[in-house]
Structure 1
Amino acid sequence: MSVSVRIPTILRTYTGGDSEVSADGATLAEVLDDLEAHHTGIRARVLDDNGALRRFVNVYVGNDDVRFLEGLKSPTPDGTQISIIPAVAGG
């Protein structure tokens, strides 16, 4: 299943500057694997050493935060837009 993935500015060095790329996969994990196959290094910026989503990276499938869905097992229907959003903190 083909989806579009919105890439934040900080990760665009992995996508040749593209703000949106296409990827294939029936789940978020499969989409991230496909992204890694075409944009080496990007998965390590989204997932930690244990293969879990990094604490300060939010990922949305459509309008839904995957932390409240099925995490990396969240379905990614054909045509869905996935957004990778670094968390913003400050004081």
Structure 2
Amino acid sequence: MPITLRIPPPLRKFTAGAETFECPARNLSELFDALESKYPGIRQNLCQADGAPQRFLNIYVNDEDIRFLGGNGYTFQDGDEVLLIPAIAGG
């Protein structure tokens, strides 16, 4: 069973409006690879040059902040639901 990525409205411009994305990724690196394969160019909006997630990008797995689950080293489990939330600032 794959994981499900929920894509919030601010990021849907990079996914042709798709709200969800399913793939058999085992970790963030594989998730970003799968996203880039399906939606070329999305990686540069989500990742730094070294492949790490952008600092403004909050990632949740089953409603838990991935930073508290092991960060970039977290291994996804079958059926995990992943949510990417870009920080939004204003004044």
Alignment TM-score, normalising by the size of structure 1 = 0.85
> Aligned partners of 1:63, 1:45: CA distance in 2, in Å?
22
CA distance in 1, matches of 2:33, 2:72: 11
Instruction: Please report the RMSD computed on the Cα atoms of aligned residues, expressed in angstroms.
Output: 1.6
Question: Quick check: 44-53 or 77-86, which moved more?
Answer: 44-53
Deviation, structure 1 residue 25: 1.0
Superposed CA offset, 1:39-60 (max 9, x none): 1122221111122211111011
Query: Structure 2: which 5+ runs fail to align?
Result: none
Measured in 1, the distance between the counterparts of 2:70 and 2:44 equals 20
Structure 1 segment 61-80 matched on structure 2, within 5 A: 61-80=61-80
Q: 1:13-69 deviations in whole A, cap 9, x for unaligned?
A: 222211111122111221121111111122221111122211111011111211222
Shift of 1:77: 0.9
Q: Is the 8 A contact 1:46 1:54 kept in 2?
A: yes
Give the letter for the 1:71 counterpart: G
1:74-89 equivalent positions in 2, closer than 5 A: 74-89=74-89
Unaligned ranges ≥5, structure 1: none
Give the Cα–Cα distance (whole angstroms) in 2 for the partners of residues 43 and 5 of structure 1: 15
Q: How many residues align?
A: 91
Give, in whole Å, the separation in 2 of the partners of 1:29 and 1:42: 13
Equivalent residue runs for 1:50-65 within 5 Å: 50-65=50-65
